[in-house]
Amino acid sequence: MDLKEALKSELTEEEMQHLVKSFEVVGDIAIIEVPEELEHRKELIGEKLMEVNNHIKTVLREVSGRKGQFRTREYESIAGEGETETVHKEHGCRFKLDPTVVYFSEREAKESQRITEQVQEGETIMAMFAGVGPFPVVIARNKNVERIYAVELNPEAYRYLEKNVFLNKVDDSVESVEGDVRDVCPEYFGRCDRVLMPLPKGSKEFLDTAIRCLKDEGGILHYYTWGEEGTMYDRAREDVIEVADSMDREIEVKDMRKVLPYAPRKWKICLDCLVKNKK
Ligand SMILES: C[S@@+](CC[C@H](N)C(=O)[O-])C[C@H]1O[C@@H](n2cnc3c(N)ncnc32)[C@H](O)[C@@H]1O
Protein backbone atom coordinates (compact mmCIF):
# COMPACT_ATOMS: atom_id res chain seq x y z
CA MET A 1 0.00 0.00 0.00
CA ASP A 2 1.33 3.48 -0.77
CA LEU A 3 1.03 6.59 1.40
CA LYS A 4 -1.91 8.04 -0.53
CA GLU A 5 -3.80 4.78 -0.20
CA ALA A 6 -3.06 4.58 3.53
CA LEU A 7 -4.33 8.12 4.16
CA LYS A 8 -7.43 7.95 1.96
CA SER A 9 -9.78 7.11 4.80
CA GLU A 10 -8.09 9.53 7.25
CA LEU A 11 -7.94 12.76 5.25
CA THR A 12 -10.72 14.74 3.60
CA GLU A 13 -10.81 14.98 -0.17
CA GLU A 14 -9.54 18.54 0.03
CA GLU A 15 -6.67 17.53 2.31
CA MET A 16 -5.77 14.70 -0.08
CA GLN A 17 -5.28 17.30 -2.83
CA HIS A 18 -2.43 18.85 -0.81
CA LEU A 19 -0.60 15.60 -0.12
CA VAL A 20 2.70 15.42 -2.06
CA LYS A 21 3.19 12.50 -4.42
CA SER A 22 6.70 11.52 -3.38
CA PHE A 23 9.19 11.65 -0.55
CA GLU A 24 12.91 11.04 -0.30
CA VAL A 25 14.42 8.09 1.57
CA VAL A 26 17.94 8.53 2.96
CA GLY A 27 19.01 5.39 4.82
CA ASP A 28 16.23 4.74 7.33
CA ILE A 29 15.01 8.35 7.27
CA ALA A 30 12.09 9.54 5.15
CA ILE A 31 12.03 13.21 4.16
CA ILE A 32 8.70 14.67 3.13
CA GLU A 33 7.23 18.03 2.28
CA VAL A 34 4.04 18.73 4.26
CA PRO A 35 2.34 21.88 3.01
CA GLU A 36 0.88 24.41 5.46
CA GLU A 37 -2.64 23.18 4.65
CA LEU A 38 -1.72 19.82 6.21
CA GLU A 39 0.25 21.18 9.20
CA HIS A 40 -2.45 19.90 11.61
CA ARG A 41 -2.12 16.41 10.06
CA LYS A 42 1.67 16.15 9.98
CA GLU A 43 2.03 13.54 12.78
CA LEU A 44 -0.62 11.33 11.18
CA ILE A 45 1.13 11.60 7.80
CA GLY A 46 4.47 10.68 9.43
CA GLU A 47 2.97 7.68 11.24
CA LYS A 48 1.24 6.36 8.12
CA LEU A 49 4.44 6.79 6.12
CA MET A 50 6.22 4.58 8.68
CA GLU A 51 3.41 2.02 8.58
CA VAL A 52 3.69 1.55 4.82
CA ASN A 53 7.53 1.62 4.78
CA ASN A 54 8.53 -0.52 7.73
CA HIS A 55 12.29 0.11 7.46
CA ILE A 56 11.80 3.85 8.14
CA LYS A 57 12.83 4.87 11.68
CA THR A 58 12.42 8.65 11.50
CA VAL A 59 10.24 10.92 9.38
CA LEU A 60 11.48 14.47 8.80
CA ARG A 61 9.44 17.31 7.40
CA GLU A 62 11.22 19.93 5.28
CA VAL A 63 10.71 23.33 6.91
CA SER A 64 12.99 25.46 4.71
CA GLY A 65 14.51 25.47 1.27
CA ARG A 66 18.24 24.82 0.84
CA LYS A 67 20.21 27.67 2.36
CA GLY A 68 23.65 29.21 2.61
CA GLN A 69 26.99 28.00 1.36
CA PHE A 70 26.52 24.51 2.79
CA ARG A 71 23.21 24.01 0.93
CA THR A 72 21.52 22.48 4.02
CA ARG A 73 17.87 22.84 5.00
CA GLU A 74 15.91 22.82 8.24
CA TYR A 75 13.72 19.89 9.21
CA GLU A 76 11.36 18.93 12.00
CA SER A 77 10.86 15.36 13.15
CA ILE A 78 7.19 14.36 12.72
CA ALA A 79 7.31 10.63 13.49
CA GLY A 80 9.57 7.88 14.77
CA GLU A 81 12.70 7.94 16.89
CA GLY A 82 13.90 11.35 15.78
CA GLU A 83 17.45 9.99 15.19
CA THR A 84 18.91 11.93 12.26
CA GLU A 85 22.20 10.10 11.61
CA THR A 86 21.86 7.21 9.20
CA VAL A 87 23.71 5.03 6.68
CA HIS A 88 22.49 5.33 3.10
CA LYS A 89 23.36 2.68 0.50
CA GLU A 90 23.78 3.38 -3.21
CA HIS A 91 25.77 1.82 -6.05
CA GLY A 92 27.19 -0.74 -3.61
CA CYS A 93 28.62 2.04 -1.39
CA ARG A 94 27.62 3.13 2.12
CA PHE A 95 27.30 6.76 3.16
CA LYS A 96 27.06 7.75 6.79
CA LEU A 97 25.42 11.15 7.14
CA ASP A 98 23.01 13.39 8.97
CA PRO A 99 20.77 15.25 6.49
CA THR A 100 20.05 17.99 9.04
CA VAL A 101 23.68 19.21 8.91
CA VAL A 102 24.91 18.26 5.41
CA TYR A 103 23.68 18.27 1.83
CA PHE A 104 22.63 14.89 0.49
CA SER A 105 20.04 13.82 -2.04
CA GLU A 106 19.25 10.27 -3.11
CA ARG A 107 18.00 11.89 -6.33
CA GLU A 108 21.63 12.53 -7.36
CA ALA A 109 22.43 8.79 -7.53
CA LYS A 110 21.89 8.57 -11.30
CA GLU A 111 24.21 11.51 -11.86
CA SER A 112 27.14 10.07 -9.90
CA GLN A 113 26.68 6.86 -11.92
CA ARG A 114 26.62 8.80 -15.20
CA ILE A 115 29.88 10.58 -14.36
CA THR A 116 31.48 7.33 -13.12
CA GLU A 117 30.77 5.68 -16.47
CA GLN A 118 32.81 8.38 -18.24
CA VAL A 119 35.92 8.04 -16.07
CA GLN A 120 38.93 6.38 -17.74
CA GLU A 121 41.53 4.22 -16.05
CA GLY A 122 44.38 6.12 -14.40
CA GLU A 123 42.66 9.52 -14.23
CA THR A 124 43.43 12.14 -11.62
CA ILE A 125 40.20 13.89 -10.60
CA MET A 126 39.32 17.04 -8.69
CA ALA A 127 35.96 16.49 -6.94
CA MET A 128 35.05 20.00 -5.83
CA PHE A 129 32.06 20.46 -3.48
CA ALA A 130 32.35 16.83 -2.42
CA GLY A 131 29.75 16.82 0.38
CA VAL A 132 29.74 13.46 2.18
CA GLY A 133 31.43 11.90 -0.85
CA PRO A 134 28.91 10.35 -3.27
CA PHE A 135 30.81 11.35 -6.44
CA PRO A 136 34.41 10.57 -5.35
CA VAL A 137 33.49 7.40 -3.45
CA VAL A 138 31.31 5.89 -6.20
CA ILE A 139 33.97 6.66 -8.82
CA ALA A 140 36.80 5.23 -6.71
CA ARG A 141 34.84 2.05 -5.91
CA ASN A 142 34.07 1.40 -9.57
CA LYS A 143 37.06 2.72 -11.53
CA ASN A 144 40.78 2.24 -11.30
CA VAL A 145 41.78 5.89 -10.85
CA GLU A 146 45.17 7.37 -10.01
CA ARG A 147 43.86 9.85 -7.43
CA ILE A 148 40.71 11.78 -6.51
CA TYR A 149 40.99 14.99 -4.49
CA ALA A 150 37.68 15.58 -2.67
CA VAL A 151 37.27 19.13 -1.36
CA GLU A 152 34.53 20.17 1.08
CA LEU A 153 33.98 23.34 3.11
CA ASN A 154 31.25 22.32 5.60
CA PRO A 155 33.14 20.80 8.59
CA GLU A 156 30.25 18.40 9.30
CA ALA A 157 30.14 17.18 5.70
CA TYR A 158 33.94 16.88 5.68
CA ARG A 159 33.80 14.72 8.84
CA TYR A 160 31.37 12.34 7.10
CA LEU A 161 33.38 12.46 3.86
CA GLU A 162 36.48 11.24 5.72
CA LYS A 163 34.44 8.49 7.41
CA ASN A 164 32.85 7.39 4.13
CA VAL A 165 36.19 7.18 2.37
CA PHE A 166 37.33 4.66 5.03
CA LEU A 167 33.94 2.92 5.28
CA ASN A 168 34.11 2.16 1.55
CA LYS A 169 37.82 1.31 1.61
CA VAL A 170 38.82 3.88 -0.99
CA ASP A 171 41.37 5.70 1.17
CA ASP A 172 44.18 4.51 -1.13
CA SER A 173 42.81 6.64 -3.99
CA VAL A 174 40.60 9.37 -2.42
CA GLU A 175 42.25 12.22 -0.55
CA SER A 176 39.77 14.33 1.46
CA VAL A 177 40.61 17.98 1.86
CA GLU A 178 38.74 20.39 4.16
CA GLY A 179 38.41 23.96 2.98
CA ASP A 180 37.23 26.43 0.37
CA VAL A 181 38.06 25.27 -3.16
CA ARG A 182 39.46 28.73 -3.87
CA ASP A 183 42.08 28.32 -1.12
CA VAL A 184 42.73 24.62 -1.54
CA CYS A 185 42.81 24.09 -5.31
CA PRO A 186 45.96 26.08 -6.23
CA GLU A 187 47.97 23.14 -4.87
CA TYR A 188 46.35 20.94 -7.55
CA PHE A 189 46.56 23.33 -10.51
CA GLY A 190 47.64 21.57 -13.70
CA ARG A 191 47.36 18.10 -12.15
CA CYS A 192 43.88 16.83 -13.08
CA ASP A 193 42.28 15.07 -16.06
CA ARG A 194 38.72 15.80 -14.89
CA VAL A 195 37.05 18.34 -12.61
CA LEU A 196 33.57 17.94 -11.05
CA MET A 197 31.67 21.08 -9.97
CA PRO A 198 28.39 19.87 -8.37
CA LEU A 199 27.41 23.19 -6.76
CA PRO A 200 24.92 24.82 -9.12
CA LYS A 201 24.46 27.96 -7.01
CA GLY A 202 27.08 30.53 -7.93
CA SER A 203 29.21 28.01 -9.81
CA LYS A 204 30.38 30.55 -12.39
CA GLU A 205 32.63 32.21 -9.83
CA PHE A 206 34.57 28.93 -9.39
CA LEU A 207 34.99 28.21 -13.10
CA ASP A 208 38.48 29.73 -13.41
CA THR A 209 39.72 27.74 -10.39
CA ALA A 210 38.23 24.55 -11.87
CA ILE A 211 39.80 25.10 -15.29
CA ARG A 212 43.21 25.78 -13.71
CA CYS A 213 43.07 22.35 -12.02
CA LEU A 214 43.15 20.68 -15.45
CA LYS A 215 46.44 19.55 -16.98
CA ASP A 216 48.06 21.82 -19.58
CA GLU A 217 46.97 19.50 -22.39
CA GLY A 218 43.36 19.90 -21.19
CA GLY A 219 40.70 17.66 -19.71
CA ILE A 220 37.03 17.28 -18.90
CA LEU A 221 34.95 19.72 -16.87
CA HIS A 222 31.50 18.84 -15.49
CA TYR A 223 29.83 22.20 -14.91
CA TYR A 224 26.56 22.31 -12.94
CA THR A 225 24.27 25.34 -12.87
CA TRP A 226 20.60 26.31 -13.23
CA GLY A 227 18.72 26.42 -16.51
CA GLU A 228 15.25 27.76 -17.25
CA GLU A 229 12.72 26.50 -19.79
CA GLY A 230 13.19 28.38 -23.05
CA THR A 231 16.86 29.28 -22.64
CA MET A 232 17.86 26.10 -20.80
CA TYR A 233 21.59 25.82 -21.67
CA ASP A 234 22.32 29.20 -23.28
CA ARG A 235 23.67 31.12 -20.28
CA ALA A 236 25.70 28.15 -19.00
CA ARG A 237 27.32 27.63 -22.37
CA GLU A 238 28.12 31.35 -22.72
CA ASP A 239 29.60 31.45 -19.19
CA VAL A 240 31.92 28.48 -19.74
CA ILE A 241 33.09 29.77 -23.10
CA GLU A 242 33.64 33.31 -21.75
CA VAL A 243 35.70 32.21 -18.73
CA ALA A 244 37.74 29.69 -20.72
CA ASP A 245 38.39 32.27 -23.44
CA SER A 246 39.73 34.75 -20.86
CA MET A 247 42.20 32.03 -19.81
CA ASP A 248 43.29 31.25 -23.38
CA ARG A 249 41.43 27.96 -23.30
CA GLU A 250 38.96 26.57 -25.77
CA ILE A 251 35.76 24.72 -24.86
CA GLU A 252 34.03 21.96 -26.73
CA VAL A 253 30.67 21.22 -25.11
CA LYS A 254 30.33 17.44 -25.39
CA ASP A 255 26.95 17.03 -23.69
CA MET A 256 24.27 19.14 -22.00
CA ARG A 257 21.55 17.60 -19.85
CA LYS A 258 18.89 18.23 -17.25
CA VAL A 259 19.90 16.58 -13.96
CA LEU A 260 16.96 17.34 -11.64
CA PRO A 261 13.94 19.64 -11.54
CA TYR A 262 14.56 22.49 -9.08
CA ALA A 263 11.56 24.82 -9.28
CA PRO A 264 8.72 25.39 -11.75
CA ARG A 265 10.39 25.75 -15.19
CA LYS A 266 13.86 25.63 -13.57
CA TRP A 267 16.31 22.70 -13.68
CA LYS A 268 19.67 21.75 -12.34
CA ILE A 269 21.69 21.16 -15.50
CA CYS A 270 25.13 19.81 -16.35
CA LEU A 271 27.46 20.67 -19.21
CA ASP A 272 30.21 18.15 -19.93
CA CYS A 273 33.01 20.15 -21.54
CA LEU A 274 36.31 19.27 -23.14
CA VAL A 275 38.76 22.03 -22.23
CA LYS A 276 41.76 22.51 -24.53
CA ASN A 277 44.49 25.04 -25.10
CA LYS A 278 43.84 27.49 -27.92
CA LYS A 279 45.73 26.49 -31.06
C1 LIG B 1 25.05 20.87 -3.70
S2 LIG B 1 26.12 20.23 -2.46
C3 LIG B 1 26.74 18.77 -3.30
C4 LIG B 1 27.43 17.81 -2.38
C5 LIG B 1 27.81 16.46 -3.02
N6 LIG B 1 28.59 16.63 -4.23
C7 LIG B 1 26.57 15.64 -3.30
O8 LIG B 1 26.21 15.43 -4.47
O9 LIG B 1 25.96 15.18 -2.33
C10 LIG B 1 27.49 21.36 -2.56
C11 LIG B 1 28.55 21.15 -1.49
O12 LIG B 1 29.60 22.12 -1.69
C13 LIG B 1 30.05 22.60 -0.43
N14 LIG B 1 30.67 23.93 -0.69
C15 LIG B 1 30.03 25.12 -0.91
N16 LIG B 1 30.92 26.10 -1.17
C17 LIG B 1 32.15 25.51 -1.14
C18 LIG B 1 33.46 26.00 -1.35
N19 LIG B 1 33.68 27.30 -1.65
N20 LIG B 1 34.49 25.15 -1.25
C21 LIG B 1 34.27 23.83 -0.95
N22 LIG B 1 33.05 23.29 -0.75
C23 LIG B 1 31.99 24.12 -0.84
C24 LIG B 1 28.80 22.63 0.43
O25 LIG B 1 29.10 22.59 1.80
C26 LIG B 1 28.07 21.37 -0.06
O27 LIG B 1 28.42 20.25 0.72
Ranges of each domain in the chain: 3-84, 107-277
- Taking only the tens place, the pLDDT of each residue in 153-209 is 999 999 999 999 999 999 999 999 999 999 999 999 999 999 999 999 999 999 999
Superfamily of domain 3-84: Met-10+ protein-like domains (3.30.300.110)
CA of 150: how far to CAs of 40, 131, 176, in Å?
43, 9, 5
By most ligand atoms within 8 Å of CB, the mutation choice from 101, 116, 199, 269 for ligand 1 is: 199
CA of 67: how far to CAs of 24, 71, 159, 248, 268, in Å?
18, 5, 20, 35, 16
Atom of ligand 1 nearest to the CA of 112: 8
Write out the chain's pLDDT in tens, 279 residues.
Answer: 699 999 999 999 999 999 998 899 999 999 999 999 999 999 999 999 999 999 999 999 999 999 999 999 999 999 999 999 999 999 999 999 999 999 999 999 999 999 999 999 999 999 999 999 999 999 999 999 999 999 999 999 999 999 999 999 999 999 999 999 999 999 999 999 999 999 999 999 999 999 999 999 999 999 999 999 999 999 999 999 999 999 999 999 999 999 999 999 999 999 999 999 887
Instruction: Supply the pLDDT for residue 147.
Output: 98
Q: What is the CATH number of domain 107-277?
A: 3.40.50.150
Phi-psi sector, 82: left (phi>0), alpha (psi -120 to 50), beta: left
The C-alpha atoms of residue 100 and residue 102 are separated, in whole angstroms, by: 6
* Cα(52) to centroid(ligand 1), Å: 33
